Amino acid sequence: MLLLALIPAAYVLGMFPSAVMVARARGIDITTEGSGNPGASNVSRVLGWKWGVIVFVLDAAKGAIAAGIGWIGVGRHAGYICAAAAALGHMLPALRRFGGRRFQGGKGVATVGGAMFVLQPILSPILLAIWFAVSRLTKRASLGSFAIIALLPIGEALLGSPAWEIVASIALGLLVLVKHGSNIKRLIRREELSLDEDD
């Protein structure tokens, strides 16, 4: 029964609009600048990498807290469920208004990544390094995200994780991938924004 209470709590935690708040503190509406996405990559593009790091840490903390509470409170499977709930809250917030203005959800990479730092602490630093390397080399954060979405279940399999965890990670990856639909279209058209440019 505790899990039934933790799932909506994780979802509400995921709705915390980190990027919107950080950008607003700098006098910027992040949903109308750059790609318009309220996430760490767009904040980096518009305000600089230091502010992007702040947003990344805040968004990752949402996933880490949700996964940690689920794991400790109920069990490891609940950690994955709560991570998914937090990611959904981040990507598809039910309350789409903050401070009187409408905002959209983010892509969920940092939130899921934060959860993985709790659930897969050995693998996650390696994936973070890969994400950073691919993103910097290609100047496309989305390509870095696609790389780690593919490598996460492979890494879990190599580490001997149980099949259900690999399936759960694939499901989380697909959730994030669906949210990247616009990025995929822009990549196909070769119109995807780089990390150091805006619209």
pLDDT in tens, 115-134: 999 999 999 999 999 999 99
pLDDT at 95: 75
Decide if pLDDT at 152 tops 90.
yes
Task: Assess whether pLDDT exceeds 50 at residue 198.
Answer: no
Task: Give the C-alpha separation, 36 to 46, whole Å.
Answer: 10
Mean pLDDT of all residues in 167-195: 89
DSSP per-residue string spanning the chain: -HHHHHHHHHHHHHT--HHHHHHHHTT--GGGSTT---SHHHHHHHH-HHHHHHHHHHHHHHHHHHHHHHHHHT-HHHHHHHHHHHHHHHHS-S--EETTEE------HHHHHHHHHHH-TTHHHHHHHHHHHHHHHHT-HHHHHHHHHHHHHHHHHHTT--HHHHHHHHHHHHHHHHHTHHHHHHHHTT-PPPTT---
pLDDT computed for residue 196 by the predictor: 65
Instruction: Sort residue 96 into left (φ over 0), alpha (ψ -120 to 50) or beta.
Output: alpha
pLDDT tens, residue by residue, 27-37: 999 988 988 88
Q: What is the pLDDT of residue 141?
A: 87
Per residue in 40-62, pLDDT tens?
Answer: 989 998 999 999 999 999 999 99
Mean pLDDT of 125-150: 94
Q: What are phi and psi of 122, to 5 degrees?
A: -80, -40
Looking at residue 92, its amino acid is L
With bands split at pLDDT 50, 70 and 90, how would you rate the model's confidence at 197?
A: low
| Residues paired with 102 in a beta bridge | 97
pLDDT band at 199 (very low <50, low <70, confident <90, very high): very low
Q: What local confidence, expressed as pLDDT, does residue 102 receive?
A: 57
pLDDT in tens, 64-117: 999 999 999 999 999 999 999 999 999 999 876 554 455 578 999 999 999 999
The pLDDT of residue 34: 85
Q: Does residue 63 contact residue 112 with C-beta atoms inside 8 Å?
A: yes
Cα atoms found within 13 Å of the Cα of residue 166, Cβ hemisphere only: 13
